[in-house]
Each structure stands twice: as structure tokens, then as C-alpha cells.
Amino acid sequence: MFDDVIHEFHNELNATVVPIPIPLKKADKGIDIANGTLSKLKEIVEKEDFESTPDEITFFKKIKPCPMSYLIYFSEVRSCEVRKPKAGKNFQYTFFEKELQKINKFFYKNNDFVQYMEQGHEYLDHQLFTRHHRKNFPFTPMINYYQYPEFSSSHDMLWAKIQAMYRLIHYVREAMESIKPGKQDASLDKKHKIMLWSGSKTALVELIYAVYANGDLNHGAVDISTVTSSFEDFFNIKLENIYKTYSEIKSRKGPRAKYLQNLIIRLEAKMNQDDEN
């Protein structure tokens, strides 16, 4: 039931938010969708609750932080877009430098918890991600994005914010790059001469979605458009309407991940050949 809500959330995010070119409008739309998803999750929890403590931990550690992190991220983006200087690239650049400093301070302040989560520890999960121990671990002071006592553990909000901050770093860096004179063109020229994608675009989209689905970039705290942009930059290629391509891949008859399956076959053959030699 929770998985269906999260799946719908990602589909709506990719279809209606990611294509919006204006950051402020994108943030407003993203906030609406994230809020709606959190409301749906809250209704399910109020109606069904959890069958076991492990189920409760899974919800507050892995499920709720997904839309919650996007709500925090889009709220922070909106705040930046509203507060940044309206004129003067130097003033704007300085503004974003200060935003990066704030992000670094946040990670430094919460370093112990960041390390706990990123190293995959679980020994404190029953305290951090169940509602029974909220009083023992007070909420870290932050903007009240979305908070209901019976729909919160002590640290699900903090974990969501950590994921949101990883996304915000990318947003801030892109903003700084876009207003730094001459920096972007020189950087792109240097990168694009190194590597070209010579396979089909459909194969690349299949690879991108596989990496995205496995959560191997930024600890999973990255959206599909950011992953796509990174691949486009690295391989000097422009992918048109990846959502349509992905839809076509899903509608294939028989094996759908043809490129990935071929990669496995080729790699196994390569390793077998190396063993023989």
C-alpha cells in the first residue's frame, strides 16, 4: 500500500515537476505534490497503523523520508529563489556561497547521525525510527515543514532533511555555475572532449534508470533529471524526453531490460575469457 503511494509520487514528480524550467515554479509544484503524498501516507497510518515494530521502522526510515525530503528540498529551493539578490551576479554568487556554508554547518552539526545512516547501522533504529522514543530524542530545531506527533519518530524528519540537503547542494552548485562568468563553457569543453556515448540513446536511458532505481548516487537522494543531466554532461549527449523512452522500455514484450541483460552476458564472457587466458 505504501509502495503504491511512493510509486505514484515519483511518477507525478517526474511527469509534472521535473520538466518545469523555472526553479520557483518547479518548487511550488513540488511542494504541492510532496504535501499531498504525505497526507496520503498519514491517512494510511492513522487507519491501518503498523503490524510490527520492524514495519514501523521501515516506514519512518525509508518510506516517509522520501516525500518528506522532497518537501524540505523544494521548500529550501523556494526560499533561495525568493531571497536571492535580484540583480548583480557578484551579489548572487556571494548569496549562494553563504547557502553552501549553511549546508556544511548542518552536516557538521549532525555528523554522528549522518555517519550512522550512511554506514548502514541499525542498532539504534528502534529508538530513532519508532514513535515510542520521541521524548528521548527531541526534534532537531528546524523549519516546521510538516509535523504531526503521531506521524513522526524522533529522527525521520532529520534523515529527510539530510537527503534534502544533498539535493540542495546540487541546486546551489548549478546556480553558482550558471552565474560564474566563463566557468561553465570552459568546463563543458574540457569534459565533452573526453568521452562520447556511441551506443543507442534508449540503451543509455535504460542504464540511467537502473542506476537511479538502485539508489547508488548521493545515497539515493537525487532525482532522475539530475542523474540524466550528469550522464548527458559526461557522455556529451542530449537525451530527448527520457520519460517517453522509459515508458517504451516498460512496454516491451519479453525481457524489458535488454541492454542491462546484454551487459551481464558480455561481462560474464569477458571474465570467462580472462580466466582461460
pLDDT at residue 103 greater than cutoff 90: yes
Task: Report pTM.
Answer: 0.69
217 within 8 A of 227, measured Cβ to Cβ: yes
**DSSP3 helix / strand / coil % (the chain, rounded to 5):** 75, 0, 25
Give residue-wise pLDDT tens across range 239-265.
878 888 888 899 988 889 999 999 999
17-23: long-range pairs with CB below 8 Å, 24+: 18/223, 18/224, 18/225, 23/77, 23/81, 23/171
How much is the pLDDT for 186?
44
Displacement of CA 246 from its chain's centroid (Å)? 18
pLDDT tens-digit series, residues 169-195: 989 988 888 887 655 444 444 444 457
Parse the chain into domains and list their residue ranges: 1-181, 182-277
Q: What is the mean pLDDT of residues 113-122?
A: 86
